[in-house]
């Protein structure tokens, strides 16, 4: 369970829940064993226990990130990545805000843990690589560098101890990418600015400036490169620290400020304030005179240097450092400070100015990471992961107001842990009626009450002391506590327990914290709680010429005579901020990292048993294991459980008709998990995470199918909708077309109603313009009408005239109007030489043709006529031409129509050329290079060229089945004796017939024009 299976038995158990016996010794042995084997992380269920390794561990690289990304917490060996991923997954899957509470004492590794978590989140998000998101991540990580420079310090327990509490919300968009964040800071330990214990340092920023700034820069800041010279940075002794490189840190801070968009001017001011504070520490006073002990600044030059840094006048600064202006009864009185008062004022000033600067830095960082101003769009839901890294429990030799606040804060967080992890869990089992053996744990609520209760609590008593008129000392506050808290067994002091010599009279009180007893010294509790800064300083800084400093101190604007409300005391305002923090955490799904510090000497190999045992005890880890072990890893309302896992069985999918309880039971028994669950009143409880894991796995198997099913349905529905629409469109279109057609036809019917009776059968009727869709169809209709009309006309033509009409049609379409006269109106007789009108000796002709018919095998004489013929020698002769359905004959009429040569088969004819005029020239183009060039010559001088054209066209149409090459030309050409010859038609006198003659280069047909 919980990762142990991945590690092997030599590493003990990864999850303390798996210990055989749950005793403190067994717990400690396991923890030590794992620590010795470099296993710094362990689980208690989903709580991560982390032991500070004090050495660099190579367990945070990309391959580790890949191992933990998207995994369930119990799938991999214990690691803080598993917790970070769990928080991230919860946030993303359930859209719930989550938080990670990191607790443990100072130096136990909280801040490191928070940084590791942030880096993990940065590594697993923004897979799309969006630029804005990358920027947000960079800014979130860089903000740490600045915060640590100004808010962390070397303490005896931790070289890089956070001296402020930090709670950071990271905002995520609906895709789970970080889009910004917000930091809340709590109680900077500002007393450190003016005082450090031995072995400790002031905040890092001071040393960074002194060792990182260039020489000219230091000179500008009136500083020398030395820490020993300055009181505020040298009280702890040697300021060198082996684990810190102030010089490079200074550069990193400058770079980070640049990345975060800090104005250069503002960064300068921040360092000047640091410099001013350093110099303030060296301000010394002397009495003006012996009588009044009124303070006067010793070193005017030093003072004017400081004035220059914070950009105020010398006089104003001198005044503020040595005087107080008091408004009394409408009068403003100037009161000089005594030397000790002046020192007090100086320190208060230094602390306030640094504290205010830190607050401003946090505010500025928040502006830079604010999701609204970060330029990342808010879309849909967005959720946050909160990371709390707050000061751990502290016990020093001398514990003051700060430790009191810090320890109170830890009590509150422990209380939250108890509430969420121990108490609520057990209460829920009771509520749900689950059989349960109660686990005892120490509830620290009594300690929280001791501190925070109204009227009776320590903070209330302290406030009361601060508010009362007249001089109240810390001692009086201690007395008041002794009276009011005498019955509280968590509180003690010398007067309540006179025999305890460890408590100093009139100075100490002790609280029995959950983590141990802490003795506090009341010295300066009153002052620190009042946290007064004289108005004079506020006005001084408000009047600075430096815009940033002025901006930090807006309340300096208030005039001295205006009475202002007494500000909240430091204790109360801290208490309020912690209460609101706890409330805020309580609304989120919590994840815990419990940090343990293995030794006091920052050693990577020492496991201090006593110290560790102590921490394990006060952190309540053992109780945590007990509750966890007795408890259940997972619970869910029946309805929610059913909704999530109902796809697992077919009884429950897609809808279960019984009660949610029965549905859940069906799923559990289907998976055979009955032994690992309990049924509560409204919830199911699952004992081991594996069961949940198995359920999740099973569910994952079905999800793709469900997605496909949903997609299929959605696509199908979509397509059906579309198809329906299309069908409707086509229906409407066809109806519309039909309507258009019908109304058009109606129109036509109307127009053509009487065509049968019209002379032209409706040829003259103008067709109405059809609608576009009908244009093709109307063309057909018109053709049909034309055919009908032709039919009507042809009906009147007698049957025997029809072939001639057909020939005329052929001739007409061949000539296409290119010849003016083509004998259309004449009756075409064809075989003219068989008529006596043309031929006196028809018998000879007919006899000849009959014999040729049987010889050549043609069917019919289609045309015969006398003609003039010319040959290649330009000789002109009278001939007869006969066209049959097989070929053409040239006959000599003078020799009883003897053929001049054998038949010219139609296949040899390649074309026909005629002239556009009245002459009767015809050129039969032949394949053998000798064209047949004739001029028809009838006794009646009839036009017969048209008839020949018609006959030839018809033959080509019906016998040859192709289009005749036909030309009409005024200057036709021909081939004679394989030579191309130009023909010309010339007119001649009316007497005599037509004749061919050579005329220069051309072969001319002389045509009797008047005939």
Ligand X SMILES: Nc1ncnc2c1ncn2[C@@H]1O[C@H](COP(=O)(O)OP(=O)(O)O)[C@@H](O)[C@H]1O
Catalytic residue among 105, 189, 341, 394: 394
Taking CA atoms, 218 is separated from 6, 208, 215, 250, 550, in Å, by 56, 12, 5, 13, 23
> Is 427 labeled as catalytic in the residue annotation?
no
> Is 402 labeled as catalytic in the residue annotation?
no
Map residue 712 onto helix, strand or coil. Answer: helix
Contact 529/463 with Cβ under 8 angstroms? yes
Catalytic residue among 14, 45, 236, 392: 392
Site string for ligand X, 54-83 (x = CB under 6 A): x-xx--------------------------
Nearer to ligand X, 52 or 407 (CB): 52
β strands within 696-780, DSSP E: none
Q: Which does 57 bind (CB under 5 to 8 A by kind): ligand X, Mg ion, none?
A: ligand X
* Binding piece for ligand X, criterion CB under 6 A, among 48-56, 93-101, 351-359, 974-982: 48-56
How wide is the angle at C-alpha 399 spanned by C-alphas 395 and 403, nearest 5°?
A: 70
Q: Residue 235 CB, nearest distance to ligand X (Å)?
A: 21
Site string for Mg ion, 139-178 (x = CB under 5 A): -----------------------x----------------
Site string for ligand X, 1-40 (x = CB under 6 A): ----------------------------------------
Q: Which of 277, 145, 274, 257 is nearest to 205 (CA)?
A: 274
166 binds ligand X (CB under 6 A): no
111 binds Mg ion (CB under 5 A): yes
Q: Parallel, antiparallel, or unpaired: how do β-strands 876-884 and 861-870 relate? A: antiparallel
Q: Residue 9 CB, nearest distance to ligand X (Å)?
A: 25
How wide is the angle at C-alpha 279 spanned by C-alphas 273 and 280, nearest 5°?
A: 85
Q: Residue 615 CB, nearest distance to Mg ion (Å)?
A: 16
Q: Residue 50 CB, nearest distance to ligand X (Å)?
A: 7
Nearer to ligand X, 391 or 404 (CB): 391
Q: Which does 392 bind (CB under 5 to 8 A by kind): ligand X, Mg ion, none?
A: ligand X
Nearer to ligand X, 53 or 899 (CB): 53
- 875 burial (CB, 10 Å; 0-12 / 13-18 / 19+) is exposed
* Binding piece for ligand X, criterion CB under 6 A, among 66-74, 154-162, 194-202, 616-624: 154-162
Nearer to ligand X, 54 or 744 (CB): 54
* Binding piece for ligand X, criterion CB under 6 A, among 50-58, 228-236, 731-739, 987-995: 50-58
Q: Phi/psi of residue 648, each to 5°?
A: -70, -35
98 binds Mg ion (CB under 5 A): no
How wide is the angle at C-alpha 487 spanned by C-alphas 481 and 489, nearest 5°?
A: 95
Region class of 226: left (phi > 0), else alpha (psi between -120 and 50), else beta: beta
Q: Which does 645 bind (CB under 5 to 8 A by kind): ligand X, Mg ion, none?
A: none
Nearer to ligand X, 159 or 284 (CB): 159
Chain center to CA of 205: 39
Rounded CA-CA distance 599/608 in Å is 5
Nearer to ligand X, 110 or 412 (CB): 110
53 binds ligand X (CB under 6 A): yes
Catalytic residue among 4, 50, 111, 125: 111
Taking CA atoms, 171 is separated from 6, 177, 415, in Å, by 34, 8, 26
Q: Which does 920 bind (CB under 5 to 8 A by kind): Mg ion, ligand X, none?
A: none
Structure tokens, 205: 């920023």
Contact 852/889 with Cβ under 8 angstroms? yes
> Is 394 labeled as catalytic in the residue annotation?
yes
162 binds ligand X (CB under 6 A): yes
114 binds Mg ion (CB under 5 A): no
User: What is the four-CA torsion angle of 828, 829, 832, 834, rounded to 10 degrees?
Assistant: 180
Rounded CA-CA distance 66/56 in Å is 20
User: What is the four-CA torsion angle of 249, 254, 257, 258, rounded to 10 degrees?
Assistant: -130
Rounded CA-CA distance 614/594 in Å is 13
Q: Residue 545 CB, nearest distance to Mg ion (Å)?
A: 37
The correct pick among 67, 156, 160, 871 for binding ligand X (CB under 6 A) is 160
Q: Residue 47 CB, nearest distance to Mg ion (Å)?
A: 19
109 binds ligand X (CB under 6 A): yes
Judged by CB under 6 A, the chain residues 567 through 626 that form the site for ligand X are: 595
Q: Which residues pair with 296 in a beta bridge?
A: 286
Nearer to ligand X, 42 or 488 (CB): 42
The correct pick among 30, 98, 111, 185 for binding ligand X (CB under 6 A) is 111
Taking CA atoms, 990 is separated from 852, 939, 994, in Å, by 36, 14, 9
Catalytic residue among 52, 98, 106, 383: 106
Judged by CB under 6 A, the chain residues 894 through 953 that form the site for ligand X are: none
* Binding piece for Mg ion, criterion CB under 5 A, among 33-41, 106-114, 844-852, 1001-1009: 106-114
Q: Can you tell me which residue has the tokens 């919860």?
A: 90
Q: Which does 109 bind (CB under 5 to 8 A by kind): ligand X, Mg ion, none?
A: ligand X
Rounded CA-CA distance 861/798 in Å is 22
> Is 105 labeled as catalytic in the residue annotation?
no
* Binding piece for Mg ion, criterion CB under 5 A, among 110-118, 361-369, 550-558, 980-988: 110-118
164 binds ligand X (CB under 6 A): no
Q: Residue 161 CB, nearest distance to Mg ion (Å)?
A: 6
> Is 107 labeled as catalytic in the residue annotation?
yes
Q: Can you tell me which residue has the tokens 């329906």?
A: 724
Catalytic residue among 86, 144, 158, 865: 158
Q: What is the DSSP string of 303-344?
A: HHHHHHHTT--HHHHHHHHHEEEEEETTEEEEEEPBHHHHHH
Rounded CA-CA distance 619/417 in Å is 9
Q: Residue 111 CB, nearest distance to Mg ion (Å)?
A: 3
The correct pick among 30, 126, 161, 615 for binding ligand X (CB under 6 A) is 161
Structure tokens, 61: 């690289």
> Is 573 labeled as catalytic in the residue annotation?
no
Q: Say if residue 887 is preceded by a cis peptide, omega within 30 of 0.
A: no
Q: Which of 17, 79, 4, 10 is nearest to 49 (CA)?
A: 79
Taking CA atoms, 310 is separated from 250, 345, 753, in Å, by 21, 17, 110
Contact 676/723 with Cβ under 8 angstroms? no
Q: Residue 40 CB, nearest distance to ligand X (Å)?
A: 7
Q: Which of 624, 662, 668 is nearest to 645 (CA)?
A: 668
The correct pick among 106, 144, 415, 688 for binding ligand X (CB under 6 A) is 106
Q: Which does 159 bind (CB under 5 to 8 A by kind): ligand X, Mg ion, none?
A: ligand X
112 binds ligand X (CB under 6 A): yes
Helices 445-452 & 401-417, crossing angle to 10 degrees?
140
Q: Phi/psi of residue 953, each to 5°?
A: -60, -40
Taking the chain, what is the end-to-end CA distance rounded to the nearest angstrom? Answer: 128
Catalytic residue among 98, 152, 161, 810: 161
The correct pick among 14, 45, 77, 107 for binding ligand X (CB under 6 A) is 107
Nearer to ligand X, 151 or 620 (CB): 151
Nearer to ligand X, 104 or 631 (CB): 104
> Is 161 labeled as catalytic in the residue annotation?
yes
185 binds ligand X (CB under 6 A): no
User: Binders of ligand X: how many residues, by CB under 6 A?
Assistant: 20
Catalytic residue among 12, 14, 107, 887: 107
> Is 392 labeled as catalytic in the residue annotation?
yes
Catalytic residue numbers?
106-107, 111, 158, 161-162, 392, 394
The residues of the shown chain that bind ligand X, judged by CB under 6 A, are 52-54, 56-57, 104, 106-112, 158-162, 392, 595
The residues of the shown chain that bind Mg ion, judged by CB under 5 A, are 110-111, 162
């Amino acid at each position: 369970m919980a990762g142990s299976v991945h590690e092997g038995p030599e590493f003990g158990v990864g999850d303390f829940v798996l210990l055989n016996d749950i005793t403190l010794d067994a717990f400690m042995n396991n923890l030590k064993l794992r620590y010795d084997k470099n296993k710094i992380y362990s689980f208690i269920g989903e709580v991560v226990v982390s032991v500070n390794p004090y050495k660099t561990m190579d367990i945070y690289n990309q391959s580790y990130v890949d191992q933990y990304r998207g995994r369930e917490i119990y799938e991999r060996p214990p690691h803080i990545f598993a917790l970070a991923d769990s928080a991230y997954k919860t946030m993303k899957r359930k859209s719930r805000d989550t938080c990670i509470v990191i607790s443990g004492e100072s130096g136990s590794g909280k801040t490191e843990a928070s940084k590791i978590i942030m880096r993990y989140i940065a590594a697993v998000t923004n897979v799309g690589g969006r630029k804005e998101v990358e920027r947000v991540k960079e800014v979130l990580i860089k903000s740490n560098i600045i915060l640590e420079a100004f808010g962390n310090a070397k303490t005896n327990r931790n070289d890089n101890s956070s001296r402020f509490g930090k709670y950071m919300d990271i905002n995520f968009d609906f895709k789970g990418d970080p889009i910004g964040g917000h930091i809340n800071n709590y109680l900077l330990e500002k007393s450190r600015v003016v005082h450090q214990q031995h072995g400790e340092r002031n905040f890092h920023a001071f040393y960074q400036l002194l060792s990182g700034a260039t020489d000219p820069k230091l000179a500008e800041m009136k500083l020398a490169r030395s820490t020993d010279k300055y009181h505020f940075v040298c009280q702890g002794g040697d300021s060198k620290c082996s684990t810190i490189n102030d010089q490079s840190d200074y550069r990193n801070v400058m770079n980070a400020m640049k990345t975060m968009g800090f104005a250069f001017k503002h960064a300068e001011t921040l360092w000047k304030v640091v410099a001013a504070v350093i110099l303030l520490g060296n301000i010394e006073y002397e009495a003006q005179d012996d009588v009044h002990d009124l303070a006067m600044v010793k070193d005017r030059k030093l003072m004017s240097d400081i004035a220059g840094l914070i950009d105020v006048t010398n006089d104003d600064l001198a005044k503020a450092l040595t005087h107080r202006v008091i408004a009394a009864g409408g009068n403003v009185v100037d009161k000089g400070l005594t030397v000790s008062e002046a020192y007090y004022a100086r320190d208060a000033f230094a602390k306030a100015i640094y504290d205010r600067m830190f607050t401003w830095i946090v505010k500025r960082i928040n502006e830079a990471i604010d999701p609204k101003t970060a330029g990342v769009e808010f879309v849909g839901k967005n959720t946050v992961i909160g990371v709390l890294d707050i000061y751990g429990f502290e016990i020093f030799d001398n514990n003051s107001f700060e430790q009191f606040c810090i320890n109170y804060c830890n009590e509150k967080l422990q209380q939250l842990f108890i509430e969420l992890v121990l108490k609520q869990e057990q209460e829920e089992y009771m509520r749900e009626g689950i059989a349960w053996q109660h686990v005892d744990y120490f509830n620290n609520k009594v300690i929280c009450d001791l501190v925070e209760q109204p009227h009776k609590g320590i903070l209330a008593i302290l406030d009361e002391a601060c508010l009362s008129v007249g001089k109240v000392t810390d001692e009086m506050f201690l007395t008041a506590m002794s009276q009011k808290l005498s019955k509280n067994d968590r509180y003690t002091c010398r007067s309540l327990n006179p025999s305890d010599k460890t408590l100093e009279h009139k100075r100490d009180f002790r609280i029995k914290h959950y983590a141990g007893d802490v003795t506090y010294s009341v010295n300066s509790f009153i002052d620190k709680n009042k946290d007064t800064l004289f108005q004079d300083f506020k006005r001084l800084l408000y009047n600075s010429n430096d815009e940033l400093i002025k901006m930090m101190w807006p309340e300096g604007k208030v005039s001295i005579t205006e009475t202002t409300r007494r500000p909240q005391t430091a204790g109360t305002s801290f208490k309020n901020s912690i209460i609101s923090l706890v409330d805020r955490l309580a609304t989120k799904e919590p994840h815990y990292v419990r940090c343990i510090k293995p030794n006091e000497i920052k050693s990577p190999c020492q496991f201090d048993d006593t110290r560790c045992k102590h921490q394990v005890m006060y952190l309540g880890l053992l109780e945590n294991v007990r509750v966890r072990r007795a408890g259940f890893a997972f619970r869910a309302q029946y309805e929610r459980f059913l909704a999530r896992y109902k796809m697992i069985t077919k009884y429950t999918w897609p809808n279960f008709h019984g009660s949610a309880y029965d549905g859940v039971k069906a799923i559990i028994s289907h998976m055979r998990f009955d032994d690992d669950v309990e049924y509560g009143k409204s919830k199911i409880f699952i004992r081991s995470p594996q069961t949940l894991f198995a359920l999740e796995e099973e569910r994952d198997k079905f999800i793709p199918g469900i997605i496909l099913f949903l997609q299929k349905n959605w696509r199908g529905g979509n397509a059906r909708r579309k198809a329906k629409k299309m069908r409707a469109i086509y229906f409407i279109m066809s109806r519309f077309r039909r309507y258009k057609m019908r109304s058009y036809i109606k129109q036509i019917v109307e127009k053509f109603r009487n065509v049968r009776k019209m002379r032209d059968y409706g040829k003259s009727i103008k067709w109405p313009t059809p609608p576009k869709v009908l244009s093709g169809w109307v063309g057909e209709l018109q053709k049909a009408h034309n055919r009908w009309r032709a039919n009507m006309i042809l009906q009147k033509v007698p049957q025997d005239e029809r072939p001639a009409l057909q020939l005329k049609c052929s001739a007409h379409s061949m000539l296409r109007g290119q010849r003016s006269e083509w004998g259309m109106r004449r009756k075409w007789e064809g075989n003219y030489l068989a008529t006596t009108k043309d031929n006196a000796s028809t018998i000879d002709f007919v006899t000849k043709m009959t014999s040729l018919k049987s010889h050549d095998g043609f069917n019919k004489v289609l045309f015969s006529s006398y003609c003039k013929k010319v040959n290649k020698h330009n000789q002109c002769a009278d001939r007869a031409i006969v066209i049959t359905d097989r070929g053409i004959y040239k006959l000599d009429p003078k020799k009883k129509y003897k053929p001049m040569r054998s038949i010219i088969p139609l296949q040899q004819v390649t074309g026909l050329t005629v002239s556009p005029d009245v002459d009767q020239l015809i050129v039969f183009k032949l394949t053998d290079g000798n064209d047949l060039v004739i001029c028809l010559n009838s006794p009646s001088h009839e036009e017969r060229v048209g008839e020949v054209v018609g006959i030839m066209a018809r033959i080509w149409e019906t016998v040859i089945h192709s289009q005749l090459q036909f030309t009409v030309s005024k200057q036709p050409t021909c081939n004679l004796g394989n030579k191309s010859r130009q023909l010309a038609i010339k007119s001649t006198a009316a007497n005599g017939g037509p004749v061919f003659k050579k005329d220069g280069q051309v072969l001319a047909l002389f045509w009797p024009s008047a005939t």
